[in-house]
């Protein structure tokens, strides 16, 4: 790949990551709304304990989804800060690292994704593996999945 192709690829990875996070945000908002609606529709029964238990469970569900929403909003903000228009020689946020037959993209914690028929592991810059990789360059070694992996390229 040329430098321009590498930058274009990283830009596509970033856009795909933003899309994934935006979908997760929308899903969390829907789940919050559903939990609130369920709580509002809960009818008071003759046994008040049943009503109170159901409302408490709906409230807990709403809080759980609210935490997930906040985490995704934070992840999206971190991803927006990542610069993909730079070719890196050492691993840092915004870098792609090739090795172990896959690409590691230091940008957002989205896990394994298949992009353009390539296996890409999206890593949050705050993830332990990203911290291990930080400042490494092509030719360096790191441990992934219990195996020693050579970095083939950083860009």
Q: Convert the chain into a string of H (helix), E (strand) and C (coil).
A: CCHHHHHHHHHHHHHHHHHHHHHHHHHHHHHHHHHHHHHHHCCCCCCHHHHHHHHHHHHHHHHHHHHHHHHHHHHHHHHHHCCCCCCCCECCCCCEEEECCEEEEECCCCEEEEECCEEEEEECCCCHHHHHHCCCECCCEEEECCEEEECCEEC
**Domain endpoint, select from 38, 55, 81:** 81
45 and 110 together in one domain? no
| Containing structural domain, residue 7 | 3-81
Single pTM value for the model = 0.85
Q: What is the mean pLDDT of each run of 10 residues along the chain (155 residues)?
A: 96 98 97 85 60 78 94 95 97 97 97 96 96 97 95 98
**Domain endpoint, select from 58, 81, 104:** 81
Tell me how many domains the chain contains: 2
- pLDDT of res. 19: 98
Residue 143 lies in a domain: yes
- pLDDT of res. 46: 47
133 and 70 together in one domain? no
12 and 50 together in one domain? yes
């Amino acid at each position: 790949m040329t430098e321009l192709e590498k930058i274009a690829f990283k830009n596509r990875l970033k856009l795909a990551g933003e899309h994934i996070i935006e979908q997760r945000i929308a899903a969390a908002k829907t789940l919050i709304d559903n939990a609130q609606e369920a709580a509002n529709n809960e009818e008071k029964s003759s046994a008040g304990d049943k009503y109170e238990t159901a409302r408490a469970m709906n409230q807990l569900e709403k809080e759980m989804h609210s935490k997930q929403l906040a985490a995704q909003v934070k992840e999206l903000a971190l991803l927006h800060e990542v610069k993909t228009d730079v070719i890196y020689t050492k691993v840092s946020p915004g870098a792609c690292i090739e090795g172990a037959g896959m690409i590691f993209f230091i940008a957002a914690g989205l896990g394994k994704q298949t992009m353009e028929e390539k296996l890409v592991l999206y890593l949050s810059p705050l993830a332990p593996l990203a911290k291990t990789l930080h400042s490494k360059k092509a030719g360096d070694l790191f441990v992934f999945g219990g195996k020693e992996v050579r970095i083939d390229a950083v860009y």
